[in-house]
Every structure is written in structure tokens, then in C-alpha cells.
Amino acid sequence: MSDAPKLSHVIETGIYIKDLKAAKDFYKDVLGLEPFIEKLERHLFYKIGNTILIIFNPDATMEEHYLPPHGARGIGHIAIEIDPEDTDAWREHLKKHDVEILKEASFGGGVSLYFHDPGQNLIELITKGSWD
């Protein structure tokens, strides 16, 4: 057992995409999100529930001078919760926007829809209760 102080919850998650204009368009058109902070050469900040999703340009954040340098290459992953009754609507919405569902999986009675964003990050829409 660890003697570390208790953690509360994840408050922000960062993924990396070089083309932030394509990311902004995708996250608006496909996921219905609007950034509340944007600096297209460096980052986009989105609120999802009580968490923050930050999409960084890895070229900019690796040259960081204010914060420690950070970045990632390759496929990142985030999961965003949806209501179970909206699963069919999400399938249709993704199809309408020519977003390929790479895999549909069931876990503990829930459903997950997996697809890529413009940076090839693996995005998962997971139904509420899947982790209960």
C-alpha cells in the first residue's frame, strides 16, 4: 500500500495534433465542442463536463520556455462518456461526417465507439456506466 496522499480526479488531459486548425474543425463539427481558449499555433482548450481537454501542437510545446517542454508523437487516446440512449445517434452522426468507426466494443454492459481524430489519436465514445 502506498503512503501517497489521496488524489481527487483528473482535471485535464492533453493530446497532441500538429494541425490545430484541422483539430478545431473536427472537434467542432464532429464532437460539437468549441474551444474556450485557443492559440492556433500552440493549443486549444475545451471543457467537457468538469474536465478540460487540451489539444497541443507538439512542435510548439517541445520548444517551451514558460513551462517544462512536453509533447508526444504517435497515437494518443481519450474516452468521452455518452448516454447509452445516444449511441445510435452517435453512430449516425459519425457516419454523416465520414468518420470511420474503427471498432465497436462492449465492456461490462456498456458500448464503446472508437475512431480517429485528425492527429490519428484514438477517440472513444463510451456509454455511461461502463466502468461501474
**Structure confidence at residue 19 (pLDDT):** 97
Sheet holding 110-116, edge to edge: 77-82, 122-127, 110-116, 103-107
Domains of the chain in sequence order: 12-127 (3.10.180.10)
Q: What are residue 44's phi and psi, to 5 degrees?
A: -130, 135
Give 75-116 pLDDT, tens digit per residue. 999 999 999 999 999 999 999 999 999 999 997 789 999 999
pLDDT band at 71 (very low <50, low <70, confident <90, very high): confident
pLDDT band at 64 (very low <50, low <70, confident <90, very high): confident
Compute the distance between CA of residue 87 and CA of residue 68 in angstroms, rounded to an integer: 39
**Structure confidence at residue 33 (pLDDT):** 97
Q: Are 87 and 113 in contact, with CB atoms under 8 Å apart?
A: yes
